[in-house]
Amino acid sequence: MARWRALPRPARYAALLLAGTLPVLAFPAPNLEFIAWFGLVPGLLLIRASASARQAAAAAWWLGGGYLLAALYWLIPNLGPGLLLVTAVLGVLWTGFGVACWALLRPPVTARRGLAALVVMPSCWLLGEWIRSWQGFGGPWAVLGVSQWQHPAVLALAAIGGVWLVSFALLAANTGIVILIAASTWPVRLLGVAAAAVALAAGPAAFALTAPPPPAGSVTLALVQPGIVHDPVRRADATQRMSAGLRSYHPGLIVWGESSIAFDLRRDATLLRQIGRLSAADGAQILVNQDAIGAGGTKSKMAVLVGPAGIDGAYVKTRLVPFGEYIPFRQQLGWLTSISRAAPENMIPGTGAHVLRVTTPDGRPLPVGVLICFESAFPDMSRVDADHGARLIIYQTSDSTFQTSWALAQHASLGALRAAETGRPVVQAALTGDSAAFDARGRLLAWAGPSDRGVIRVALGLPPSAARTPYDRLGDYVPWTATGIAVLAALLALVRPDRIRPQRVRAHRPAWILLERNHRHGSSVRVSSGSSGKNSVTRSHDPADGADPAP
């Protein structure tokens, strides 16, 4: 600790930034998902070594800034230097986590404080994730639990408590490892080992003890991925050519990516008839996506279900991409358009998630939840669709802006979490990749990267409309509980500030002690404490004694 505190402040901040980037390697595209189970340990040890609660809060701020910079680097083309401002503001959400780490894990680490840390620290982290998941703050990108998207056994926790419960388990494991390293006694170290082991085993145990309801039917989808075609007319033509002749696949629905149509089908009757004839030839409805133009020239993103007879349903995108489709607090941040490619104007959002009714080739109705692009990051939207009876969740996206970055794979991986949370199969149809499909437990069924062109055919088992996971039924009880724990911990710290602040030692007043040798003579002794903390003794002599004072 002394060596850490002796480092120059810039060196400490740089180390904390680097420590924040480490857990990001657990996400795609590196996909080193095992790092999430211990990747926060270096940062926690650095925060723990802070000299005060204030320094710990600042250290956690830098740690969170490094985490967000690494996770959102692909926004640089849109935000430019504005990304530094965004990460600096959102980094504040880690300060409470830092204070909790310092208060509970600074020396000496006792069993009581260790147990509290295993509950309070994951709660404080989770509270920060939940707050920044609000759309006004940008939305829930890079929530730590998403890093486990490749492991359905771990994702069983998402069916119980959403992605939030997965994040909680990861934080508990990291905290347990820090207790193992920092504790000085073996009983407390064993507490850390046990906590990490329980966190690791929780997901597989939930997977083994729970099972989805048996499928109540199936459907085959055809996901069309034409690749990057910048000209809107050529893009629509390419998508239609790939969709021709799919009748032999027996698709129940053909899905195109976001912005597959750059024209409003409600105004372009010729294009609508072309797609309707294509639907009749393929024997299946086609879910297209268009840039809709409203009154006054306002723009919206719209998913449109087209059949042989025309438009059979539509959904308007509700959660827009921050800075790409709108600028939060535009009045204050509108200047970003002059230094970056941030949205020149705000798109108009829809009114919320709702279900579209697909008619399969054999005439059966199939309720599906249709969401667009960035909305795959929001657990509540897919849960609303499941509550409304959707048996399948479909995401349409483009992602053409972020080619060659980690954003594409990170975006597609979100489908695994949404599938596990809702107990519904999830597909993502991307204009330029990555397209993906997952079953109702989050297991990967199909994947097409940005270099792939063509049609992805995937068969999906469908759950009953009434099937519900615990997360469907109970909602966001995990972050609400974490909020309560964090608030309670903060109140206790205010009531008992000595728990997070070292006590100041006050200087003692000099003490005078009278020592009587006899009834006639005496001497007095003064005991005082100097600035060095050492006691000094001065003996004064009574002149009536007639003897020299002792040295």
Structural Rg of the chain based on CA atoms: 31
Q: Does 190 map to a domain? A: yes
Residue 550 has pLDDT above 50, yes or no: no
Residue 393 has pLDDT above 70, yes or no: yes
Give the residue numbers spanning the domain of 254: 218-460
The reported pLDDT for the residue numbered 518 is 47
The reported pLDDT for the residue numbered 147 is 97
167 and 299 in one domain?
no
The reported pLDDT for the residue numbered 501 is 56
The reported pLDDT for the residue numbered 343 is 75
- Res. 344 pLDDT band, cuts 50 70 90: confident
Distance from C-alpha of 86 to C-alpha of 324, rounded to nearest angstrom = 14
Residue 144 has pLDDT above 90, yes or no: yes
- 218 and 460 in contact (C-beta within 8 Å)? yes
For the chain, the domain total comes to: 3
Mean predicted confidence (pLDDT) in 123-145: 91
378 and 343 in one domain?
yes
Residues in the chain: 551
The reported pLDDT for the residue numbered 534 is 46
The reported pLDDT for the residue numbered 522 is 47
- For residue 513, the surrounding DSSP H or E stretch is strand 511-516
C-alpha angle with apex 55: 53 to 57, nearest 5 degrees?
70
495 and 380 in one domain?
no
Q: What is the DSSP letter of 326?
A: B
225 and 204 in one domain?
no
Q: Does 130 map to a domain? A: yes
207 and 237 in one domain?
no
Q: Does 324 map to a domain? A: yes
**Residue scoring higher pLDDT (312 or 551):** 312
369 and 432 in one domain?
yes
Mean predicted confidence (pLDDT) in 236-251: 93
Residue 541 has pLDDT above 70, yes or no: no
Distance from C-alpha of 428 to C-alpha of 372, rounded to nearest angstrom = 9
The reported pLDDT for the residue numbered 531 is 44
- 270 and 378 in contact (C-beta within 8 Å)? no
The reported pLDDT for the residue numbered 498 is 61
The reported pLDDT for the residue numbered 523 is 47
Distance from C-alpha of 230 to C-alpha of 171, rounded to nearest angstrom = 43
The reported pLDDT for the residue numbered 519 is 46
The reported pLDDT for the residue numbered 154 is 97
Q: Closest by alpha carbon to 191, among 109, 120, 124? A: 109
Distance from C-alpha of 227 to C-alpha of 432, rounded to nearest angstrom = 4
The reported pLDDT for the residue numbered 63 is 97
Q: Does 506 map to a domain? A: no
The reported pLDDT for the residue numbered 2 is 65
Which CATH number do you get for residue 364? 3.60.110.10
As a three-state string, the secondary structure of 129-146 is HHHHCCHHHCCCCCCHHH
Mean predicted confidence (pLDDT) in 173-189: 96
C-alpha angle with apex 535: 534 to 540, nearest 5 degrees?
145
The reported pLDDT for the residue numbered 335 is 75
What is the tens place of the pLDDT at every residue in 33-66?
999 999 999 999 999 999 999 999 999 999 999 9
Mean predicted confidence (pLDDT) in 483-502: 82
Residue 79 has pLDDT above 50, yes or no: yes
The reported pLDDT for the residue numbered 295 is 65
**Residue scoring higher pLDDT (515 or 110):** 110
- 118 and 175 in contact (C-beta within 8 Å)? yes
- 493 and 103 in contact (C-beta within 8 Å)? yes
Q: Does 362 map to a domain? A: yes
Q: Does 470 map to a domain? A: no
Residue 223 has pLDDT above 90, yes or no: yes
What is the tens place of the pLDDT at every residue in 394-425?
999 988 777 788 999 999 999 999 999 999 99
Q: Does 326 map to a domain? A: yes
- Res. 513 pLDDT band, cuts 50 70 90: very low
223 and 137 in one domain?
no
Residue 540 has pLDDT above 50, yes or no: no
Residue 491 has pLDDT above 70, yes or no: yes
The reported pLDDT for the residue numbered 141 is 92
224 and 202 in one domain?
no
423 and 517 in one domain?
no
197 and 225 in one domain?
no
238 and 112 in one domain?
no
- Res. 463 pLDDT band, cuts 50 70 90: very high
Question: Mean of the per-residue pLDDT values for the chain?
Answer: 88
176 and 40 in one domain?
yes
The reported pLDDT for the residue numbered 322 is 77
Burial class (CB in 10 A: 0-12, 13-18, 19+), 267: exposed
Q: Using CA atoms in the order 106, 112, 118, 124, what is the torsion angle rounded to 10 degrees?
A: -70
Pick from 108-122, 143-157, 391-405, 444-458: least confident? 391-405
What is the tens place of the pLDDT at every residue in 310-338?
999 999 999 988 777 777 777 777 777 77
Sign of CA dihedral 365, 366, 371, 375: positive
Q: Closest by alpha carbon to 161, among 486, 484, 480? A: 480
C-alpha angle with apex 288: 319 to 383, nearest 5 degrees?
40
**What does pTM read for this prediction?**
0.87
Q: Closest by alpha carbon to 414, among 91, 168, 145, 33? A: 145
Q: Does 60 map to a domain? A: yes
